[in-house]
Structures are given as C-alpha cells and as structure tokens.
C-alpha cells in the first residue's frame, strides 16, 4: 500500500511539473537579433547569386569589407567593394553603431542600396529606413531556414517599402545571426521602363 502511495505521489509531481513547465520559446524569451549578431569585420565577404528580369543573366557577385575608414567610441565606418565576375562595380561604405548598420553605396551597381538596419530586432520591430518614407519592419521569423545544406534555427525576414515620386521600391531581406544578409528580393517600379525584379541569394561566405 505504501509503495503504491509513493508511486502515485511521484506520478502527480511529474504531471504537475510537465503542466507548469513553459514552452521552449517562452523559456528563452522572445527571439532577438542584436548588432553583435550581425558580423562586420575587415575581410568579411559574402558571395551572392545575382539575377534580374531585365538582363535575364545570372551573375556571381562578391561583397567584401576591405578596411576601416574611421572609428571612435560610438561608430565605425568600413570600406566595401563589390565585384561581379571579378570586375569592380562599386566601392561604398558601411556605418556601424551600437544600434544601426547603414549601407552607403558609391554608385547604382551596389548590391545593397542605401539600407538601414536597426537593432535589436524582434518580430514586428519597425523603423524608418535611410530615406524619409522608407519603412522597414520584421514581418516574420522563419524557422527552420534552409541555407547551404544546413537548416538554421531562425531567420529574420524584413519587409521594406519606399515610395517616392517617379518610382517605388518593395523588398524583402532575410538575415541570419552570425552570417548576415542571406537573401534579398527587390522590385523597383519606375515611370517608363516598368518593374525590375532582382534577387540576391547567398552561395558562400567568410566572416571573422
């Protein structure tokens, strides 16, 4: 009888623990991406498959952080270089602070336009982009996210919308912690030529 009582008591404790234990997501708290999880260092490089509907061509584009232009206690400015099939097409900069990363291209052939990322990011985070009227928000957190033969736990999917007289930009960005931007899909609608669709897909990377 006593053994049966102890057995029932043990089962009751196990059931109570199981019912009171929070789900994994609530245990860890809301998913968050901080600037520390967005790699930026000299010699970091990302190789993308670059395709668009205008040329119909698929190119290989290499984006490299080539050096540091300036640094202080609040920010660092990095120099960047973009090459397509080994040919230099753009030299730009990235401004990095504790809360923001801002891509500033040198010309129109950059992989990333004037792009502002604000940290920390959580689902439904929203912020103003580089230009007035340039709106950005974390629309979803994708898990699992297949990339280069690996299923990553979480990818932050960012929606971008920018309307200005003459053209409109709609874009999505996928960012994975420790890797950076892994995909961008962008459409640019302008007066005259119509709509350009461009896709960047990460095919290799090296970060330090």
Contact criterion met (CB below 8 Å) for 81 and 61: no
> What is the pairing mode between strands 115-118 and 126-128?
unpaired
Closest CA to 76 of 111, 46, 35: 35
Question: What is the value of pTM for the model shown?
Answer: 0.82
Cα 136 from Cα 126, distance rounded (Å): 6
Contact criterion met (CB below 8 Å) for 32 and 120: yes
pLDDT at 46 over 60: yes
Q: What pLDDT, on the 0 to 100 scale, is given for residue 28?
A: 52
3-state secondary structure of 13: helix
Q: What pLDDT, on the 0 to 100 scale, is given for residue 34?
A: 95
Residue 112, burial from CB neighbour count under 10 angstroms (0-12, 13-18, 19+):
buried
Across 151-161, average pLDDT: 96
């Amino acid at each position: 009888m006593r053994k049966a009582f102890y057995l029932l008591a043990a089962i009751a404790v196990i059931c109570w623990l199981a019912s009171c234990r929070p789900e994994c997501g609530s245990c860890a708290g809301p998913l968050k991406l901080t600037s520390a999880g967005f790699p930026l260092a000299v010699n970091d490089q990302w190789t993308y498959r670059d395709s668009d509907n205008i040329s119909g061509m698929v190119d290989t584009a290499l984006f490299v952080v080539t050096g540091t232009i300036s640094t202080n206690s609040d920010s660092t400015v990095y120099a960047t270089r973009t090459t397509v099939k080994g040919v230099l097409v753009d030299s730009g900069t990235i401004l990095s602070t504790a809360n923001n990363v801002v891509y500033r291209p040198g010309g129109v052939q950059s992989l990333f336009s004037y792009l502002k990322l604000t940290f920390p990011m959580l689902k439904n985070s929203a912020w103003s982009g580089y230009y007035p009227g340039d709106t950005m928000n974390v629309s979803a957190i994708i898990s699992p996210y297949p990339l280069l033969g690996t299923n990553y736990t979480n990818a932050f999917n960012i929606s971008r919308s920018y309307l200005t007289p003459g053209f409109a930009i709609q874009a999505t960005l996928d960012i994975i912690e420790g890797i950076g931007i892994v995909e961008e899909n962008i459409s640019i609608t302008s007066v005259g030529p119509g709509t350009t669709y461009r896709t960047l897909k990460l095919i290799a990377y090296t970060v330090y």
